Amino acid sequence: MTAQELPNGFTGFANRKPGFEPASASVGHTPVGGYTTGGGASLAGVPAGYERGAQGAFQYARDHARPDTGAASFDPDKLRLIPDTDRRWAWTEIDLNALRHNVASLKRHVGPGVRVMAVVKADGYGHGAVRCAKTALNSGAEYLGVATVNEAIELREALVNAPILVLSQPPDEAIPLLLAYKVMPSVYTPDFAIRYAEAADAFGIRAPYHLAVNTGMNRIGVRHDQVVEFLSQVSFHRALDLVGTFTHFATADAPETLDFHIQTKRFLEAIQGMRVAGVDPGIIHAANSAAAIRYPDVHFDMVRPGIALYGLHPCPETRTMIDLKPVMSVHARVTDARLVPMSEGVSYGMNYRSPGSVKICTVPVGYADGLRRGLSGRTDFIVSGQRFRQVGNICMDQCMFEVDMRIYGTRRRVDPQIGDEVVLVGRQGDSVVTLDDMANTLGTIHYELSIGFAQRMPRVYV
């Protein structure tokens, strides 16, 4: 009996799906019983001087040499070509066209003469900072915002040349990195400002920065009524270069507007005080996503959209004000499918019991991937355009969903098989599951969820 004639349940190869590639595609060039001959004890294709630890990755092939053919060998270059989505059936898709659409929508909304700073901190809110930064810049953004020095360095090393602002004041020890990589810090303490200027002066270069103003959020910044005093302490230094002045709104996404208007008034007074003192505030910016969409009066010279870039609305009020398209969707493939008899439990704790006539399907996504355990039994997955309930406790690496196998009138019967695609977040046909749905269930915000899904699942850019 040949391999193709073996029963499907034994090898899984008799009824291969279209596009299936055997593992032999990733080994050497001359197949011998599913492996390849290496012509000796050494590994074919491993560079000379390859580290002993690295060779250990191929130890199995060497130790299990077939006596009649010599040592089996794998080609490490071919192994590296096996895509991440074939190493584990779970991934996020990042729609760069949707990102371009969102940048264009924001540009139209704020109008000509207002720059856009694309905030790509936290690895682009889980969407991939480098690819999203480049796409945003190519779509009309002029500035980039990050949270840490390392985030800025990642962009520079990926050959991103746009102005980058670190949206907080880094430690003094990071000053050489700021200067070497041409990254601007936010500044709000005199000691840092002087040390930054002294280091720049020692290299014969300028020390550009943006002044952070605290107008009421009380997170970072020079207090709004002490801005002129602060500048009098640092502006004497010839290397310092005030490029911009900004604040951050705490309640731009809230229905209540009093605190927002108080912050706006304080910021305008601080800017006016700088001008009266003869200080040019540079690029004035304050508006996050919510403020950029809701409040034209605070667009100033530049807006700083973050979550809106990725197609997620900062608050319900913005949904009718601007057209945004979600950039991220979350996908997996079925790794197991079985009929579970009535009353048998599923997953840890067996909080779910089969009602009978259901198929329980497993996907390799769990709370270590960002699918929060609090969603157990409280979210739906989509298969073949239909929604199905997730059941049982979500595990660290896997979870299950239920498919009712009974037929009700004209209801279309879906019978998932191993390898079928499942949408955890996104749209398929007329069915949609959103990060907002999950966030509302959990009592949190979609920012947290989008970042969570980037923890270890590979990204596919489309």
Cα separations (Å) of 406 from 382, 411, 420, 431? 18, 9, 20, 20
Q: What share of the chain is helix, strand, coil (3-state, %, to 5)?
A: 35, 25, 40
Q: Is 152 helix (H, G, I), strand (E, B) or coil?
A: helix
Beta-strand ranges (E) seen in 272-392 are 283-287, 302-303, 328-333, 336-339, 345-346, 352-353, 358-363, 380-383, 386-391
- Terminal CA-to-CA distance of the chain, rounded, Å? 43
Cα separations (Å) of 448 from 3, 319, 442? 48, 20, 11
- 134 included as an active-site residue: no
CA dihedral 169, 170, 175, 178 (to 10 degrees): -80
Measured CA to CA, the distance from residue 403 to residue 71 in angstroms comes to: 47
Contact 374, 368 (CB under 8 A): no
- Is 219 known to sit in a ligand binding site? yes
DSSP 380-409: EEEETTEEEEEES---SS-EEEEEE----T
Number of other residues whose CB lies within 10 A of the CB of residue 316:
10
Number of other residues whose CB lies within 10 A of the CB of residue 273:
18
Q: What b/e readout covers 64-89, taking b as 16+ CB neighbours within 10 angstroms?
A: ebeeeeebbbbbbeeeeeeeebeebb
- Which of 107, 121, 134, 359 is flagged as catalytic? 121
- 121 included as an active-site residue: yes
Look up residue 36 and give its amino acid.
Answer: T
- Is 328 known to sit in a ligand binding site? no
Measured CA to CA, the distance from residue 265 to residue 267 in angstroms comes to: 5
Long-range contacts of the stretch 108-112 (C-beta < 8 A, 24+)? 109/292, 109/293, 109/321, 109/322, 110/292, 110/296, 110/299, 110/303, 111/299
Beta-strand ranges (E) seen in 44-124 are 90-94, 115-119
Place of tokens 């809701």: 294
- Which of 60, 182, 265, 348 is flagged as catalytic? 348
Q: Is 318 helix (H, G, I), strand (E, B) or coil?
A: helix
Contact 376, 400 (CB under 8 A): no
Catalytic residues: 121, 348
Binding-site residues for substrate sit at 219, 396
